[in-house]
Amino acid sequence: MSRFSRWVVAALFLLSIHCAEAAQDVADEVRVKAAVIYNLLLFVDWPGDVPTGDFRLCLIEGGALAVALQDFAGKPIHGRRFVPHPIGGGADELQSCFAVMVEAGNPVALARAGATARNRPLLVIGEGTGATDRGAMVSLAAQGSRMVFDVDLGALRRAHLGASSKLLRLARRVVE
């Protein structure tokens, strides 16, 4: 039995290697995620009474995503300069952000960002299953080998943010 199961495992492993080699060209997940986030922001509209200066996308904790987003730093967005800005997660720090990206595994930070967005136009982007339940307006996920995103239109409206029809069309799911 032991020997048999060992062979089964080895066969499965070889099969998965074979499948991997047959797979198509792939791109680094973090880079694609960074690009998706930057592009998403182009399809969201902020009201007039927002902070002046750079367009700040705040990130809870720096990490691989913060590094990947640096490729977009300085690019134009809504007539401003795009600046990815890692923060520690404090409520004060969120005041200067246009949008905040909370990576998976930090539900408390997500809830806090969601609460901030009840008083001012802050786009909250989350990740993984259940992110829209915890305060995210846009939630990124991997489905199969591709990136998808869900939009909570009701939460966007409550934060006085607008979503373009293209954003809603590309979303996997739109909840009101």
Partner 1 sequence: MFGIPRLLGGLVLVLAVGSAWSAEDVSRLSLEDLLKVDVAGASGYEQPLSETPSTATVITADDARRFGFRDIGEALQMARGVYISRDRTYSSLGVRGFGRPGDYNSRVLLLQDGGRANDPVYDQAMVGNESPLEMEWIKRLEFVPGPSSALYGGNALFGIANAVLWSGGDLNGTRVSLEAGSGRMARASILGGRVESNGLDWVGGLSVYQRRGDDLYFREFDVPATSNGIAHHLDGERYVKGLLKASWENWRGSVSFSTRVKNVPTAYFGTAFDVPGNFARDQSFHVDIAHRQSLSATWDQQLRLHVGHYAYDAEYPGTAAVNRDETRADWWSAEYQLRYSGWRDHAWLFGAEVRRQPRLEQRNFDISPRSDILDDKRKGGGMGVFVQDEWRLAPRWLANLGVRVDSQLSQPTMTSPRGALIYRPTEATTLKLLYGKAFRPPNAYERFYGGGGQKANPNLKPERISTRELALDVTPSSSLRFGLGRYSYTLHDLIDQEIDPADGLMVFRNQTGKVEARGWEAEVEVMLAGGWRLRANSNWQHISQPGSEPSNSPRRVSKFYLDGSPAAGWTLGLSVQGLSSRRTLVASVPGYVTGNLVLRQIENSRFGAWNVGIYNLAGKRYWDPAGQEHVQDALQSDGRQVRVGWEIGFR
Region binding partner 1 by CB under 8 A among candidate stretches 19-27, 51-59, 77-85: 19-27
- Burial code (b: 16+ CB inside 10 Å, e: under 16) for 58-97 equals bbbeeeebbebbeebeeeebeebebbbbbbebeeebbeeb
Per rule CB under 8 A, is residue 175 in the interface with partner 1?
A: yes
Per rule CB under 8 A, is residue 96 in the interface with partner 1?
A: no
Residues 106-135 within binding reach of partner 1 (CB under 8 A) = 106-108, 111-116, 118-119, 128-130, 133-135
Name residue, tokens 């008083």. Answer: 119
Per rule CB under 8 A, is residue 49 in the interface with partner 1?
A: no
Residues 139-168 within binding reach of partner 1 (CB under 8 A) = 142-148, 155, 158, 166
Of the two residues 50 and 147, which places its CB atom closer to partner 1 in the complex? 147
